[in-house]
Chain A
Amino acid sequence: MRFIGKLKRDKRAVGSIIGATFIFLILTSGIFYYVLTTALQRKYAEKASEMEEFDWERSREKIIVYRLTVTEDNKLQITLVNLGSVQVEIIWIGVFDTSTDPPTQQYYNVQVAIPPAANQTITTNIFIDPYKTYEIQIITARGNIIEYNYPIPEPWGSRAYITIEGPDTINYNQWTTYTIRVTSVTGDPFPYVFVYCYVSGSTAKIKVGWGSSTFSYGLTDSNGERTIQIKSKTRNGEYFMLYVSSGGFLLQKIIYQKPKGG
């Protein structure tokens, strides 16, 4: 009887070891599976978040062609202004000769970075025949494409002229009026044309309806004029830039905001 009792006890012990081993293996496999799937999901989430940020930055890119000219040796020269809040990297310039059918298309690789509120002149090795018409494509690293024609079609061309009328110095946190006028060189107004304005200061704003923003856009009135109001409230005072763009042309004005109480 004693012998049988001992045998039963031993059986239980072996059974427990086997059971414990299986439970350990099952738990280990489960944990491994969980850790692996979680790691894969985390990796996916990180990439998705990175691409969301990339898309958001892409939507923040705002670049315009300030000047599109040809050098004396007939090489394309482009001056770009970054009106957006993120640095823009220009990677390709496409030149399509539209005077032929079908247009010949050529892409030139460039590497130019333009910080926010800065301008950059790119002198290329691209030969331009001044008697031909071209479509110029500027492509950024984030996939935005800006298209301009060379020569810039009338009435803009060399005849467009933008003026900004308003003070060089403004008071702290006080709306100040500026009048933008788009005319021909001879002074003829360009009514109902699109004007885009942007201020680069850390606290500078343009009045838009009941609110304010760093940019504003709209059409000139029947006199070729558009009025905007600007204020800035940097405690110690600040220089900032007002950019006005219309028809592929851009004018910039430096404005100084006095310190508070100054």
Chain B
Amino acid sequence: MGNLKAIKVSQKLFKVRFVRDKRASSEIIGSLMLLLAISTAGVILYSFSIDYFSSSIDAFRVESELDSGKIQERLIITAVWYDGNLMNITILNYGKIEWKIDQVYFNHIQVSSFISGRGVAVGPKELISVKFTPPVSIVAGNTYEIVVVTERGSKNAIYWEA
């Protein structure tokens, strides 16, 4: 009788232990999965934020380099002459860095027919001669506004009397 009771108690204890052990293992798996999910989400979020930051830094760096390049640019038109066919503009670089002439506006009209000088790198203290066909007809005695623009966007304007 006593033995039977002992066996029953032992069986009950085994059942309880078995159930507890089952719960423990699922908790471990659950926790591990949760950890994995959170870590993955964190890594993804972090890599996204790093991508965002690096692209934003790159954009800022490019803008900053462009701005700091632009503030170091100085140009002045020293001479203008017209030979009856072509315009010839002489421009001095008195800034700290080299630049390239990108556009010329003649009475607010963009010059499209360049002969020379456009896109040529001009170092500090150097002169460049830009030759082009004027987009409007030149009338002696008339005054024309000539604007030269560099690739970084610096410009210089002059009023020239034909």
Instruction: Report the separation of the CA atoms of residues A51 and B46 in the bound assembly, to the nearest whole angstrom.
Output: 40
On whether the beta carbons of B68 and A4 are closer than 8 Å, the reply is no
Output the nearest chain B residue to A52 by Cβ-Cβ distance: B71
Instruction: Report the separation of the CA atoms of residues A73 and B46 in the bound assembly, to the nearest whole angstrom.
Output: 78
Chain B 114-156 near chain A by CB (<8 Å), digits 1 or 0: 0000000000010100000000000000000000000000000
Instruction: Report the separation of the CA atoms of residues A68 and B12 in the bound assembly, to the nearest whole angstrom.
Output: 122
B35 within 8 A of A: yes
Output the nearest chain B residue to A4 by Cβ-Cβ distance: B24
On whether the beta carbons of B72 and A92 are closer than 8 Å, the reply is no
User: Which B residues between 51 and 94 are near A, CB-CB below 8 angstroms?
Assistant: 53, 57, 60-61, 64, 67-68, 71-72, 74, 76, 78-79, 81-84, 88, 90, 92, 94
Instruction: Report the separation of the CA atoms of residues A140 and B76 in the bound assembly, to the nearest whole angstrom.
Output: 12
The prevalent SS among residues of A at the interface is: helix
Q: Which of A25, A33, A139, A143 has the most CB of B within 10 A?
A: A143
Residues in B with CB closer than 8 Å to A139 are: 78, 92
Chain A 1-22 near chain B by CB (<8 Å), digits 1 or 0: 0011001000100110010001
Instruction: Report the separation of the CA atoms of residues A33 and B59 in the bound assembly, to the nearest whole angstrom.
Output: 13
Chain B 12-54 near chain A by CB (<8 Å), digits 1 or 0: 0000000000001001100100010011001000100110010
On whether the beta carbons of B94 and A143 are closer than 8 Å, the reply is yes
Interface set of A (CB-CB < 8 Å, partner B): 3-4, 7, 11, 14-15, 18, 22, 25-26, 29, 33, 36-37, 40-41, 43-44, 47-48, 50-51, 54, 91-92, 94, 96, 102-103, 105, 107, 137, 139-143, 145
7 CB < 8 A contacts A-B: A22-B46, A44-B71, A47-B72, A48-B71, A107-B127, A137-B79, A143-B74
